[in-house]
């Protein structure tokens, strides 16, 4: 019996315990909520190949304990390329808008308001490789195999590869910014799309997103205005020039204000 080391180890374990609460998205929102995992395959109007823009909502992730919110959807491979585009709420910079020439300019009427923005990460791959449980827990496409030397190797089978500015895959877009990818599919084979929440708007703890699944390759340019609908209506906020949401204000800009 060695009481001192035993007690010391117990103390050390307590000392290393992490108070994850300050890391939570929903900190200060009246307690800790569980992750919000949505199975879109069970929704009344799930996203479809070449269907309308799908507008979804997801709750916050508990980053501190690795408990992620998100949504999953399944589609059948076409035998050709498919394109996935997602645009999280709402716009990266509220103090910018698009002018007549299509260039981003300063919006003199606005200050940036980051509290209505969020960030999701897009992944996809063969449904058989997905490690989560739709509607229960979010997962990824990281699997493992024993190599010829008997070493267990980690392999990421996510086929929705996003390149960074140096052309290296594995990147992700940030707050309020769209992500997209395209990849070849095998016909009549089930693929899973995983939309994992990184952060949600802190003003209401809920993220709205626009998503499209398209047949074929992605457009050469995808930007904030490619998909629409990823915004909250702020009834108590007066926006300039008669706009009633920040996304429309950004995309239509000073050249095309709504009629008053």
Partner 1 sequence: MTSKAGATCGATCGALIALSALLVGGCFQEDLPEENLEGTVVVPSTIAGDSRDIGLVYLGVYEGYDDQQLGYPYPTTGPRVGDNPIGDALPYGGTSVGSYTYACFQALRCNILTGRYIDLQSILEAHPVEHADGESVEVEELYDQCQWYYGWNSIEEFSFIGAEQLDFEANDDGDWEATFNVIHSRLPHGSRIWAFVDSDFTSCTEDDGSINRRRSEDGLFFREGTNFADVLNFPDKYITPGDLLSSDPATVVDGERSGYRVVVDHVKE
Which parts of this chain interact with partner 1 (CB under 8 A)?
4-5, 8-9, 12, 145, 147-151, 153, 155-161, 165-166, 168-169, 183-184
Q: Which is nearer to partner 1, 145 or 220 (CB)?
A: 145
Q: Which is nearer to partner 1, 5 or 34 (CB)?
A: 5
3-state secondary structure of 208: strand
Residues with Cβ within 8 Å of residue 133, at least 6 apart in sequence: 139
Q: Which is nearer to partner 1, 105 or 144 (CB)?
A: 144
3-state secondary structure of 243: coil
* In the complex, least distance from residue 231 CB atom to partner 1, rounded to whole angstroms: 31
- Report whether 235 contacts 241 (CB < 8 A): no
Q: Which is nearer to partner 1, 41 or 156 (CB)?
A: 156
* In the complex, least distance from residue 170 CB atom to partner 1, rounded to whole angstroms: 9
Residues with Cβ within 8 Å of residue 125, at least 6 apart in sequence: 141, 157, 158, 159, 160, 191, 192
Q: Which is nearer to partner 1, 1 or 4 (CB)?
A: 4
How far apart CA 76 and CA 67 sit, in angstroms, is 28
Residues with Cβ within 8 Å of residue 110, at least 6 apart in sequence: 94, 95, 239, 240, 249
- Report whether 192 contacts 157 (CB < 8 A): no
* In the complex, least distance from residue 145 CB atom to partner 1, rounded to whole angstroms: 8
* In the complex, least distance from residue 106 CB atom to partner 1, rounded to whole angstroms: 20
Q: Which is nearer to partner 1, 100 or 184 (CB)?
A: 184
* In the complex, least distance from residue 111 CB atom to partner 1, rounded to whole angstroms: 25
Q: Is 128 left (phi over 0), alpha (psi -120 to 50) or beta?
A: alpha
* In the complex, least distance from residue 252 CB atom to partner 1, rounded to whole angstroms: 33
Structure tokens at 131: 């490690």
* In the complex, least distance from residue 132 CB atom to partner 1, rounded to whole angstroms: 18
Per-residue burial over 207-234, b = 16 or more CB atoms within 10 Å of its CB, e = otherwise: bbbbbbbbeeebeeebebbbbebbbbeb
Q: Which is nearer to partner 1, 10 or 23 (CB)?
A: 10
């Amino acid at each position: 019996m060695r009481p001192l080391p035993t007690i010391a180890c117990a103390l050390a374990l307590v000392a290393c315990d992490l108070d994850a609460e300050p890391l939570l998205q929903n900190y200060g929102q009246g307690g800790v909520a569980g992750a919000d995992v949505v199975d879109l395959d069970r929704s009344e109007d799930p996203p479809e190949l070449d269907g309308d823009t799908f507008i979804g909502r997801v709750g916050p992730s508990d980053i501190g304990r690795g408990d992620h919110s998100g949504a999953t959807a399944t589609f059948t491979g076409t035998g050709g390329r498919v394109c996935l585009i997602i645009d999280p709420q709402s716009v990266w910079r509220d103090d910018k808008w698009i002018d007549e020439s299509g260039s981003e300019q300063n919006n003199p009427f606005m200050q940036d308001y980051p509290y209505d923005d969020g960030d999701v990460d897009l992944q996809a791959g063969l449904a058989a490789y997905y490690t989560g449980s739709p509607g229960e827990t979010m997962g990824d496409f990281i699997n493992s195999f024993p190599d010829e030397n008997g070493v267990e190797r980690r392999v990421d089978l996510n086929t929705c590869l996003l390149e960074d500015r140096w052309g290296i895959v594995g990147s992700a877009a940030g707050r309020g910014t769209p992500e997209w990818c395209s990849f070849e599919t095998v016909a009549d084979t089930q693929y899973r799309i995983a939309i994992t929440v990184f952060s949600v708007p802190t003003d209401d703890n809920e993220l709205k997103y626009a998503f499209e699944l398209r047949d074929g390759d992605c457009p050469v340019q995808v930007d904030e205005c490619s998909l629409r609908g990823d915004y909250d209506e702020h009834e108590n906020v007066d926006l300039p020039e008669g706009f009633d949401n920040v996304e429309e204000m950004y995309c239509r800009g000073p050249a095309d204000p709504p009629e008053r």
